Amino acid sequence: MTAELPGPSLAEIRAARERASAVAVVTPLEESRFLSDVLGAPVHLKAENLQRTGSYKIRGAYNRLSQLSAEERERGVVAASAGNHAQGVALAARELGIHATIFMPIGVALPKLQATRNYGADVVLHGHVVDETLQAAAEFAERTGAVLIPPFDHPDIVAGQGGLALEILEQLPDVANVIVPIGGGGLISGIASAFAQLEPELGRRVRVIGVQAENAASFTHSLAAGEPVAVATAPTIADGIAVGRPGELNFAIIREAVDQVVTVHDDDTARALVVLLERAKLVVEPAGAVGVAAMLTGRIEVEGPTVVMLSGGNIDPMVMERVISRGLAASQRYLKVNIPLPDRPGQLARIAELIAEANANVVEVLHTRHGIGLQISEVEIEIHMETRGSEHAELVLRRLREAGYSPRVDGTV
């Protein structure tokens, strides 16, 4: 299999890692006792959220730009991205003295826009979806002669990301499994390619498992079809991996070298982000947390030391607030409960007393006589409360039911 594997050779991946070391730092590999207990195997977090620019993207971008000819550098580079690739290309271009133009969609998160500009790139806002932004960048390249830097579908990009496999091996020589988020496939194809080519040298296979968001699972459909296919992506909090069609080269490598691809729901991803904040003290963007989500939901079963890639940490604080709320609701640590009540004095006080006796905390109460399905003699209250998790939440609900009430849990916050 190794001899027939498309894409960069192991020598090219090693050379790419050496080039990228000029800008990329060696990120920590931290053991997680909590996730080790969940998975039933030692789990280590590869914290690329702590990389320069906040993601692994600088590795591939720098490798690609560093190999441009003098004539190509003079023409400048152009890229299109909603965030991480934009920052990687912008920083790589600045370090190499190359002029960069970055197309970003209208409405891009302000921190990502500002960071890209701060790295010295000219930013052009165009299009409301990334496909429109990509088209504008391609037209700019054709019109001006600037070199288009793709986010994932290029051997130099794949080789740059593949350097992470070498770094992991140095930090954890007995690694048995690596869990990697998948968008277009640049990261996982680089890692899987490196490990596949290292198999004879290691004398064992390192399993590589990919994780996609359910609402943007282009690889599961493509692998089933045997070729890259485009899928309609639905909104997902993991916007960093919301890619509708795999890269051609990336797909060819993944089909041969990746052992498994699973998907996760947005609620599970939000819960994983909260776990990483609380247990690992790490800020991770939703796309970077999907590997942890797959472990928490039991979609992955492995044996031996396991590394999960935290691919990025570029999250807008406003988005973080919403995702944390979603994660707390998904783990039933924040409940929104609707309760119909007789319209007479003392009912609200009794409900609050029952909740307090169960050691839950009421944070908000709404009261209405106009709910759908209410009798003329009824009112409905909506209570937002904090609990300590699903078991505690069930205890609170049971106490309310035992007292003769009919609480209805709303899954949204």
Active site residues: 57, 311
Rounded to whole angstroms, how far apart are CA atoms 310 and 258?
18
Q: Can you tell me the distance from the alpha carbon of 185 to that of 219, in angstroms, rounded to the nearest whole number?
A: 9
DSSP 183-225: SSSHHHHHHHHHHHHHHHHHTSPPEEEEEEEGGG-HHHHHHHH
Backbone angles phi, psi at 291, to 5 degrees: -65, -40
Helices 84-96, 110-118: axis angle to 10 degrees equals: 10
Handedness of CA 315, 318, 319, 324 (dihedral sign): positive
**What is 303-372 written as a DSSP string?**
-S-EEEEE-B----HHHHHHHHHHHHHHTTSEEEEEEEEESSTTHHHHHHHHHHHTT-EEEEEEEES--T
Do 303 and 362 contact (CB within 8 A), yes or no? Answer: no
Spatial separation of the C-alpha atoms in residues 203 and 201, rounded to whole Å: 6
Strand partners, 31: 44
Q: Tell me the residue type at 302.
A: V
